[in-house]
Amino acid sequence: MKNILFAASECVPFIKTGGLADVVGTLPKMFDEDEYDVRVILPNYTCIPERYRNSFRYITHFYMELGHRFDSVHVGIMEYEYDGVRFYFVDNEFYFRGDKPYADTRFDIEKYTFFCKAVLAILPVINFRPDIIHCHDWQAGLIPVFLRTIYAQNMFYSRTRTIMTIHNLRFQGVWDIKTFKYLTGLPDYMFTPDKLEFKEDANMLKGGLVYADYITTVSSTYAGEIQTEYFGEGLDGLLRARNNSLCGIVNGIDYTAYNPASDNDIYKKYTQRTFRSGKAANKKAFQEEAGLPQAPEKFMIGIISRLTDQKGLDLINYVMDRLVDEFTQLVVIGTGDDRYEHLFRQYQWRFPQRVSANIFFSESFAHKLYAAADAMLVPSRFEPCGLTQLIAMRYGTVPIVRETGGLKDTVEPYNEYDNTGTGFSFSNYNADEMLNTINYAKHVFFDDRKSWDLIAKRGISSDFSWDSSAVKYEQLYDKIISRG
């Protein structure tokens, strides 16, 4: 039996702010139970819903030294089984209280420094000796560092290897070196350019990338992009140096949670065989709920996104007047930067027949839009993997994407000459190029509906479940473990 421990700051169904939570909550269920014992460890946030927290089982608690703090810190261990996976929760109310998981950067860095050390301190107590600790994003970045330094002489961890997975390289956990020395207790020689130092500060993710045995990210294209200066966020040199220990494995989606044949959130369920009539019924009902004219002939574009520059909202802003023409309905679900929230509200006020601005996030309302929309627009500046386009295809909604990261890896551009493809794409980060691609998609929708339906059908038939991704992770785990 191979022991694998996932360490992360969020995980569905307990706590979620982004796609990281979907990965950590879904992937552990996909491994062969006869060969892999996969467990997950998370912070015990007080904002985890009571329906879960009330069922957590207390195991024990102890006190741990943390950096140069005078007093020891409390480490509680809670346990819970969900969907056949054993979860551990690191309990410390001082660090994990509040109505959301993340706070200001300085406190978050202290909080996740504590989490990283606690993860390692807990393992002998629960008598679980991982062959691999799979660390996700900067919040878990100090686990490989502590493992190879503070815990290097402890025989309990002698067989343990680490994988560092980058979900979004932009977020790194950077603060000043003096604070990091105090919080971690690491010696001065660790804060040099070949280790944790980063532009005269210290960087938690960089530490993980330096000390992990292997690095993965969430798509093959993104694995190449982050080795360039444009996408590398200051770490491209390190990632090029570690090229032989770096690969991209595309994320999947949970095909039970996202299934139009059994989705209780949508207005009418449908299958691949009945998707034309099913989507038409969902479109009509959604138009009514969203306050739009019930017009089946309109081209409905969905945007389900954080409203930020990274997601290409500046491109949409540039072409908005030309985008929302008399043939189009645009539906937005999401929150983010004030200027984009105001943009969509303003256009809803100007064109209530054409724009529905839903400046909030609701999982069930998003499911309704996936089932109702004709196309889903994802014009990201960069996108490590992206789940929106995968979910859209599952519901027969045609993605229109920029060719970057996981968007490029998962959406095959439509080719009208050999009638292939699962969506539409544009390559340059340019608003006019995006609009031309949207207009081409409209042309196919209005003038060649048979081809449009075949694009949607191929999307539904695509397999972006976690099964194939899990096999690739199993192969990677086996390779790392066999090295000893």
- The percentage of residues in the chain with a pLDDT greater than 70, rounded to a whole number, is 100
Q: Spell out the residues 6+ positions from residue 303 whose beta carbon is closer than 8 angstroms to its own.
A: 316, 330, 331, 332, 333, 334, 376, 377
Q: What is the pTM of this model?
A: 0.91
**E strand or H helix that includes residue 62:** strand 57-64
Beta strands in 325-448 (DSSP E): 328-333, 355-358, 375-378, 398-402, 424-426
Convert the pLDDT of each residue in 313-335 to its tens digit. Answer: 999 999 999 999 999 999 999 99
What whole-number distance in Å separates Cα of residue 284 and Cα of residue 368?
A: 11
Q: Starting at the edge strand that comes first in sequence, how are the strands of the sheet with 85-91 ordered?
A: 57-64, 73-82, 85-91, 36-43, 2-7, 132-136, 161-166, 214-217, 246-248
Convert the pLDDT of each residue in 227-261 to its tens digit. Answer: 999 999 999 999 999 999 999 999 999 888 899 99
- The percentage of residues in the chain with a pLDDT greater than 90, rounded to a whole number, is 96
Q: Spell out the residues 6+ positions from residue 54 whose beta carbon is closer than 8 angstroms to its own.
A: none
Mean pLDDT score of the chain, rounded to an integer?
Answer: 96
**Mean pLDDT, range 40-45, rounded to an integer:** 98
Q: What is the pLDDT of residue 281?
A: 98
Burial track 396-418 (b if 16+ CB lie within 10 A, e otherwise): bbbbbbbbbbbbbbbbbbbeeee
Q: Are 282 and 371 in contact (CB under 8 A)?
A: yes
Q: What is the pLDDT of residue 484?
A: 66
Domains of the chain, each with CATH number or no CATH: 2-252+467-483 (3.40.50.2000), 275-462 (3.40.50.2000)
Convert the pLDDT of each residue in 356-390 to its tens digit. Answer: 999 998 989 999 999 999 999 999 999 999 999 99
Q: What is the pLDDT of residue 483?
A: 83
Convert the pLDDT of each residue in 201-226 to its tens digit. Answer: 999 999 999 999 999 999 999 999 99
List the one residue out of 380, 214, 370 whose CA is nearest residue 307: 380
Q: What is the pLDDT of residue 61?
A: 98
Convert the pLDDT of each residue in 87-141 to its tens digit. Answer: 999 999 999 999 999 999 999 999 999 999 999 999 999 999 999 999 999 999 9
CB atoms within 10 A of CB 351: 18
Q: Spell out the residues 6+ positions from residue 372 whose beta carbon is closer than 8 angstroms to its own.
A: 267, 279, 282, 283, 285, 286, 287, 300, 302, 331
Q: What is the pLDDT of residue 17?
A: 86
Convert the pLDDT of each residue in 149-178 to its tens digit. Answer: 999 999 999 999 999 999 999 999 999 999
**Mean pLDDT, range 342-369, rounded to an integer:** 96
- Alpha-carbon distance values, 138 to 191, 316, 385 (Å): 17, 30, 17
Q: Read off the pLDDT band of 18 (50, 70, 90).
A: confident
Q: What is the pLDDT of residue 317?
A: 97
